[in-house]
Structure 1
């Protein structure tokens, strides 16, 4: 099996995988069409396909080369459209881009029809009156590919620093590498044509080697770069599912004592990120409601108690939060809200998204499994029961 066959096969697998997303958005449609055009272009480099087409229309027509180049221009146009949608959603030179692609394709067809091509090997510049059209064809094709790849490289590599995830950065980096190699591919075509025109000598074997290597490496880099962002989404989905599993038991404990914070609208089970967002909001609302059952004095005692137990400084604040929350849940079952007192501060306040989730996971772990939290809650419950007993005895004595 030839390298071109493997590259075409990989591209078709990626293209078919992304094809269903063509209806989702303009960005996804551009990406899907980029991959389909690339896969079709590389298909015409497969020896069996090329041989079949040449046998059908004649080898002198050189139709596989023309179709490959037309599809290459089409894929470059869609790739540029995709990267602009990702990095510059406000748009970038839309009308000039449409005009450039709309002019390039007809010019290529016209110049190719009148060109005089030398037989054998890659597309070679011919001799005689048709040689000018050969030069014009190669100039138009190379110029469009070169400019499109340079602009795409600039946008892809510039967008790396704005990506939120490591896999997203890697994906944009690989896409940028692929378009950079595409730029080098266009440059080496210009160099070889210039050498041939100025010196009358050519190096077909070297040109074919460099052209094929750069082209296939660029395409595989782009295909791999396309695969990483969806993989990043899958990783985020799994991470959200794991976080939801860890926070769910805390949610159950808190919302049993503050059921009015739970939203009535149901959510489908597979919408994990949305369910996690809702879970976090309801936990935080429950914390706001439950802190009205304890005063800041409970929070102060919890800090002192945790300090006495020599809890690791990294987890001490989360354990303190779990201590007063457990106490508040107990008090919510037995007494009215406290009025006219200062309430405990919420540890989640003022955090970014990553820190917020990390904090809630730590609080959930301490709330559900820390013996220190259980001991503090028992101690507080015993103290409150003792105070209530003393109050009842005083009341009975007064009567």
Structure 2
């Protein structure tokens, strides 16, 4: 199996994978069409396909190279459209890009039809009226590909700074590397044509090696870069599912004590990120509501108890919050709401998204399984029981 066959097969796999997203958004449509055009272009480099097309229309027509180049220009146009949609949503030279592609494709067709191609290569000078048209054809094709790849490289590598996810950064970096290699492909074509025009010397083996290497490396880098952002989405989805699974037991405890914070509308099970967002909101609302069942003194005792138990300093505040939440839930079940007292602060307040989720996971883990929280709850219950017993004895004595 040839390298071109492997590259074309890999591209078709990626293209078919992304094809259903063609209806989702403008950038997804541009990406799907980029991959489809690239896969089709590389298909004409597969020896069996090239030979079949030449056998059908005649080798003198040289149809496979023309179709490959036209599809290459089309894929470059869609790739540029995609990166602009991702990095510059406000747009960038939309009319200029449309005119450039609209002029390039007809000129390539015209120059290709007028050229007097030779079996040994695309460039030939000094033999008949069509001697210059191969040069013009390759100049138009290379100029468009080169400019498109340079602009795409600038945008992709610039977008790496603004991507928040690690896999997203890696994906944009690989796409930028692919377009940079595409720029090198165009540059080496220009260099070899310039050397041929100025000296009449050809280096067909070296030109073919560099051209194939840059082209295939660029395409594979772009294909791999396209796969990483969806993988980043999958990683985020799994992380959201894991966090939701850890927070649901805490949510169930708090929602039972403060059921009025739970939203009535249902959410489909597979909408994990949305369910996580809703779970976090309802936990925070429940914490806010349950503060009314404990005073700040309970929170102060919880902090003191946590320090006495030598809990790790990094997680001590979260364990203390789990302590007063456990007491608040117990009191909420008996309806002992407090008035005119200072309530405990909420540790989740003022945090960014990552810190917020980390905090809630720590609180949930402590609330459900920490022996420190369980012991503090028992001590508070005993103190309340003894206080009630003393109150009843005093009341009985006064009678």
Q: Which residue of 1 aligns with 2:395?
A: 395
Q: Which residue of 1 aligns with 2:141?
A: 141
1:32-43, aligned counterparts within 5 Å? 32-43=32-43
Deviation readout 1:326-353 (Å, 9 max, x if unpaired): 0111111124311111100111011000
Question: In the alignment, is the contact (CA less than 8 A) between 1:116 and 1:127 conserved in 2?
Answer: no
Deviation readout 1:232-260 (Å, 9 max, x if unpaired): 00000001011111001000111110000
Q: Which residue of 1 aligns with 2:3?
A: 3
Q: Does 1:175 align with 2:160?
A: no
Where does structure 1 lack aligned partners over 5 or more consecutive residues?
none
Q: Does 1:232 align with 2:197?
A: no
Question: In the alignment, is the contact (CA less than 8 A) between 1:117 and 1:126 conserved in 2?
Answer: no
Q: Which residue of 1 aligns with 2:361?
A: 361
The structural deviation recorded for 1:227 is 0.3
In the alignment of these two chains, the number of paired residues is: 398
Where does structure 2 lack aligned partners over 5 or more consecutive residues?
none
Question: In the alignment, is the contact (CA less than 8 A) between 1:4 and 1:46 conserved in 2?
Answer: yes
Give 3-state SS (helix, strand or coil) of 1:201's partner.
coil
| TM-score, normalization by structure 2 | 0.98
Aligned pair in 2 of structure 1 residues 100, 364: CA closer, same or farther (>3 Å)? same
Question: In the alignment, is the contact (CA less than 8 A) between 2:122 and 2:134 conserved in 1?
Answer: no
Q: Which residue of 2 aligns with 1:290?
A: 290
Deviation readout 1:89-134 (Å, 9 max, x if unpaired): 11111100000000000000011111111213x5334542212211
Question: In the alignment, is the contact (CA less than 8 A) between 1:30 and 1:82 conserved in 2?
Answer: yes
Equivalent-residue separation in structure 2 for 1:293 and 1:18 (angstroms): 53
1:369-380, aligned counterparts within 5 Å? 369-380=369-380
Q: Which residue of 2 aligns with 1:22?
A: 22
The structural deviation recorded for 1:309 is 0.6
Give 3-state SS (helix, strand or coil) of 1:356's partner.
helix
Aligned pair in 2 of structure 1 residues 118, 126: CA closer, same or farther (>3 Å)? farther
Equivalent-residue separation in structure 2 for 1:252 and 1:131 (angstroms): 80
The structural deviation recorded for 1:397 is 3.9
| TM-score, normalization by structure 1 | 0.98
Q: Which residue of 2 aligns with 1:305?
A: 305
1:51-70, aligned counterparts within 5 Å? 51-70=51-70
Equivalent-residue separation in structure 1 for 2:259 and 2:181 (angstroms): 59
CA RMSD of aligned residues (A): 1.0
Q: Which residue of 2 aligns with 1:188?
A: 188
